[in-house]
Each structure stands twice: as structure tokens, then as C-alpha cells.
Amino acid sequence: MPRSGLWLIASPWESESVAQPIVSAARPSLRSAAQVPRGSEQALGKSTSGGTSSGGQIPALENTVQQLKNDGKWNVLVLYASEWTRKDPNNATAWYELSVGYANLRQVEEAFDAATKAVQLSPGNPRFWRNLGHINLAVERLPDAEIAFDKALALNADDADALCGTALIAQRQGRPKDADAIAKRIKSLDENCRGVSDGETAVVVVGPAPRTHGLLVGR
């Protein structure tokens, strides 16, 4: 894959989101605010205020975040996910969803911070480690990405997405034999990791429907 056109895909197994390009050479500004459509702040205020207890607001926020993710409305998702993390700061899933939103807005540093918080709160969840791995991979932090994928594989040695991540790392580090060996390992699991040799994408096939892997954020 050309270095100027990396791809981020958020939760493709949960939604039909279209991949958005991210240019790895340009580092996003730290802590930049998400661009929110006019009226979003008012909508958030209406949904999270007005006499409802904090405990009652959290399920509503979670449902809203999931719907926004399904709709690919990442800027609004960040607004709601941020509110979710404020009301339930020890909820790893809230930080994970915030990370997914930021990643799709190409605010990679913010995505990294939220993803790191998620794994700190729930280090036993391989999905959160995969997410952190893909974010690091998107900005060519290969050693950090490898650590994150290894954490996921320590929790589930048959994690095809994490294996594809390690294959992509091996390829970028000029270790084609290692990349091919990992691809064969995935194939032995009755799944498939394609495109490792050319670096364009990796596809994991589970059952009848192929799922596109490459630089996936939100897995």
C-alpha cells in the first residue's frame, strides 16, 4: 500500500462503513475538537439532561453511539461518546467507541489516547488491543502496533484480525517470509489473509462473507 494512502475502517463487522483514507505523513493536531454539525450540541443536551439520573442516561448514550456508528456519523459519535466517558469514566467500551470515532475523523492522536485508556481499563479484552494495534499501524508505529497485537494474541491465539495485523507489520519491516508464515497460520484456521505480499489489503473470510482487513480501526 502506498505510504500516502493508508486506510481506516471502523468496525466493518458491525456496520457497512466505507473506508476513509488517512495520510500517514501528516500528523493531526493534538486535542483538536471534532467538527460537530450545527445543532448537535443542543441535541446532546436534550438527550442527556432534564431530570434523568446519570445511571439512566448511560444506556441511552450507548444506544445512540451504536446507532451513530452504524450510520457512519463519526463527528456526532465523538460528541456522544465523549459525554459517555464523562458520565462513566471507568467504562472501557465508552473509551473504545470514542477511539473509533476519532480514528474515522482522522484525529489519530486522540484515537490513540482513547484506545490506550480502553486497554488500561480492560486489559483482558482482545478487541481493545486489536484496536490499539491498528491505530499504531496506521501511523507506522510498528513496534507499538506489534506489542498490541501480541497482547491480543496472548488472549486469543486464533484471533485472525490480530494475526493479519502482525502479518502487515512483518511485511512493512521487510520480513516477507514471516508475513507468509502468518498468512498460512490464518489459513490453517479456515480463514484467509490475502494481500499480505503486495501490502494493499488483507481479507479474512469467515463463513460465506469476506471481511476486509487492512488497517482496521475498531476491530
Mean pLDDT for the chain overall: 75
Expressed as residue numbers, the domain containing 61 is: 6-217
Query: pLDDT value at position 33?
Result: 38
Q: Which of 161, 171, 176, 160 is nearest to 200 (CA)?
A: 171
Return the C-alpha cell found at 145: 502496533
Please answer whether residues 114 and 98 qualify as being in contact, where contact means their C-beta atoms are separated by less than 8 angstroms.
yes
150 within domain boundaries: yes
pLDDT on residue 44: 57
In angstroms, how far is CA 201 from the centroid of its own chain? 16
Cell numbers that stand for 150 in this block: 501480541
Q: Report which of residues 23 and 116 the model is more confident about.
A: 116
Helix axes 142-155, 160-172, angle to 10 degrees: 150
Instruction: Evaluate if residue 214 carries a pLDDT over 50.
Output: no
pLDDT at 12 over 60: no
pLDDT at position 23 over 60: no
Residue-wise pLDDT for 32-55, tens only, equals: 334 444 444 444 554 443 333 455
Any domain includes 1? no
**pLDDT of amino acid 196:** 64
Q: How many domains, in total, are found in the chain?
A: 1
As a whole number of angstroms, the distance between CA 48 and CA 83 comes to: 9
15 falls within a domain: yes
Q: Is the pLDDT of residue 59 over 50?
A: yes
**Residues 151-189: pLDDT tens digits?**
999 999 999 999 999 999 999 999 999 999 998 899 888
**For residue 17, what is the domain's CATH number?**
1.25.40.10
Ramachandran bin of 3, using left for φ above 0, alpha for ψ from -120 to 50, beta for the remaining angles: alpha
186 lies in some domain = yes
Distance CA 160, CA 166 (A): 10
Q: Can you tell me the distance from the alpha carbon of 206 to that of 116, in angstroms, rounded to the nearest whole number?
A: 28
Residue 134: the pLDDT is 94
- pTM, to two decimals: 0.69
Domain contains 149: yes
Left if phi > 0, otherwise alpha if psi is -120 to 50, otherwise beta: which for 15?
beta
pLDDT > 70: percent of the chain: 62
CA 89 to CA 109: how far, in whole Å? 19
Question: In whole angstroms, what is the distance from residue 10 CA to residue 100 CA?
Answer: 6
Measured CA angle at 29 (ends 216, 12), to 5 deg = 15
User: What are the C-alpha distances in Å from 19 to residues 7, 83, 105, 123?
Assistant: 6, 26, 11, 27
